[in-house]
Amino acid sequence: MHAYATVCGLTLVRAHDKAGDAAMIAGYLGSSDQFDEAIGDYAVAYADQVEVDYKAFVKAVRSGRLKADVSPSRLATALR
C-alpha cells in the first residue's frame, strides 16, 4: 500500500508540475478581462460566505449547540 500511495503521489506531483507553464496559461486565457473578473467575483462571494459561516458558528457556540474547546476568556475575546 505504501508503494502504491508513493506512486500516486509522485504522479500527482508530476501532473501539477506540468500545469504551471505561464506562457501556455496566458495563451489559454487570452487578453480579455473575463478570467480576472471571474476570479474577483469568486473571491468576493467566498469572503461573503465565510462571514455568513462565521456568524453561524459564533451563534452555535454562544447557544451551546456547538461546544468550543477553549477557555471562556479566550472564547469571549474570539467571539467579539
DSSP 20: T
Per-residue model confidence (pLDDT) at position 79: 62
Domain boundaries, the chain: 2-78
pTM to 2 decimals?
0.55
How many angstroms separate the CA atoms of 69 and 8, rounded? 36
Per-residue model confidence (pLDDT) at position 15: 79
pLDDT digits (tens, 9 = 90+) for 18-55: 666 778 788 888 899 999 999 999 999 999 999 999 99
Residue type, 41: D
CA distances from 65 to 39, 68, 73, 78 (A): 35, 10, 19, 17
Per-residue model confidence (pLDDT) at position 22: 79
Is residue 76's pLDDT more than 70? Answer: no
